[in-house]
Structure 1
Amino acid sequence: MRNYSSAVVCRKYNPTNMSRAIHRGQFIVFEGIDRCGKSTQSQKLKDAFEKNGKKVILQKFPNRKTLTGSIIDKYLKKEVNYPDQFIHLLFSANRWECMAELERALNCGTSVILDRYAFSGVAYTAAKGSLSLKWCKAPDSGLLKPHCVFFLNLQPEIANCRKGAGEERYEQVEFQKKVLEQFMKLKDETWKIIDANQSEDKIFSNIYQHALSLNNQELTKLWTTDF
């Protein structure tokens, strides 16, 4: 995992007794099927935040730099095969191992932008049809809940025509359609669905205006009432 110490300054931090005076960072997630533009838009938002003097971390999941991430990387590149249960739990572990640092950053006023999160983990495994949606959600119950999820909505047929499509496991049109169906079962009040079949600038304009409206919200946990 990357060392965030240079980006986060927060003295005498205590997660169980945070001062009300501290301005909490924004926790923003980008989701969607493969090749919908998540990486482009998450980077644009990070750049805009930094230009305006905000402290910000951009993290992509899976984090392929960790021990779990290196195993996941080989799996996604189709170099190895694992049972659905095993790889799903490994994806979840990859998220959990970053949570303490990301929570610390948020509570110290640094905004966190994630390119994929638990929603992807659940949607992609559930789309295989071998495991229930509830089973897939269970390992991620208790992770930090985003303040906002920008879901970039794009039809798989269009995504499949974009550069790099088909290079990794899961990047097949019919499977991506199933993933999209599962994503729609996970949306809640924090989701903002954006038409990703527009220009990059128009998409970003919608994202940025909404991101500016997020102010010092409490941190809560994901899916804790489901179990």
Structure 2
Amino acid sequence: MFVSFEGLDGCGKTTQARLLAEALAADGVDVISTREPGGTPLGEEIRRLVLHGDHVAPWAEAALYTAARAQHVAEVIRPALGRGATVVCDRYLDSSVAYQGGGRRLGVDAVLELNLAAVEGLLPDLTVLVEIDPETAAGRVGDRRDRIEQDLGALWTRVDETYRELAARFPGRYVVVDGRRSIADLAAEIRERVR
């Protein structure tokens, strides 16, 4: 099974992805826990460039994330799925669709098509959207912001709207959970949905 976690920065998705992977491993499941951007040496270098470097043009940003994702799928995700492991990924292509397609206004369908081509159509079996409003997200992130997180306001509102659009567009794949709930309650709900 391939499970991805999505949501605004500060929503709690990283914590929930880790807790799900730990719970599955405790149940004896062969589980790979990974993240995007990152997950491979190339992906980690792209992560550093995009999140902590100088200005990156919107299409360059989208292309770099897509390149990192293509490598991640080829090197980590497909091999793990091929051997029967469960993959839990903190962000996947929906992040690019939300942040670059919606947030940067490059077009939801254009960024989705670019990413689907790069990953040869591989989509998660389940995408958990940890939903919180942009104001709460900004408060949780605080002052420890990378280049993307610094662009609050209208961008984050557009990202939030795009995530909601994706959840409505792909109801068979998306599970939407309330990120304002306690960590333990949220983890229990997600485990139940995955099972």
Alignment TM-score, normalising by the size of structure 1: 0.76
Summarize the alignment of residues 99-114 of structure 1 with structure 2, pairs less than 5 Å apart. 99-100=73-74, 101-114=76-89
Question: Secondary structure of 2:148's partner?
Answer: coil
Distance in 2 (CA, whole Å) between partners of 1:134 and 1:159 is 26
Give the alignment of 1:136-147 within 5 angstroms.
136-141=111-116, 142-147=120-125
Please give the secondary structure, in 2, of the residue aligned with 1:170.
Answer: coil
Q: Look up the match of 2:37.
A: 62
Q: Deviations over 1:62-113 (max 9, x none)?
A: 0075235313323212x32222111201101111112133222112121000
Q: Could you tell me which residue of structure 2 aligns to residue 154 of structure 1?
A: 132
1:85 equivalent in structure 2: 59
The answer to whether the 8 Å contact 1:31/1:149 transfers is yes
Q: Report what 1:119 is aligned to.
A: 94
CA contact (8 A) 2:46 2:68 kept: no
Deviating runs (4+, > 6 A) in structure 1? none
Q: As a proportion of its length, which structure holds more helix?
A: 2
For residue 55 of structure 1, report the CA deviation from its aligned partner.
0.7
Q: Distance in 2 between the 1:32 and 1:163 partners?
A: 13
2:165 — aligned with what?
185
% identical equivalent positions? 27
TM-fit CA distance, 1:177: 1.1
Give the counterpart of 1:98 among 27, 50, 72: 72
- 1:195 counterpart residue number: 178
Please say which of residues 162-171 and 34-43 is displaced more in the overlay.
162-171
Q: Secondary structure at the match of 2:175?
A: strand
1:105 to 1:122, Cα distance in 2 relative to 1, 3 A: same
Aligned partner letter, 1:85: W
Q: Residue 210 of structure 1 aligns to a residue in which SS?
A: helix
Taking structure 1 as reference, are residues 50 and 165 closer, same or farther at Cα in structure 2, changes over 3 Å only? farther
Identify which range, 171-180 or 194-203, moves more after superposition: 171-180
Bigger CA radius of gyration? 1
Q: Which runs of 5+ in 1 are unaligned?
A: 1-25, 213-227
Using the size of structure 2 for normalisation, the TM-score is: 0.88
Question: Measured at CA, do residues 164 and 55 of structure 1 come closer, stay the same or move farther in structure 2, by a change above 3 Å?
Answer: farther
2:9–2:141 Cα contact (<8 Å) kept: no
Q: Which stretch shows the higher mean deviation, 131-140 or 144-153?
A: 131-140
1:205 aligns with 2:179: no
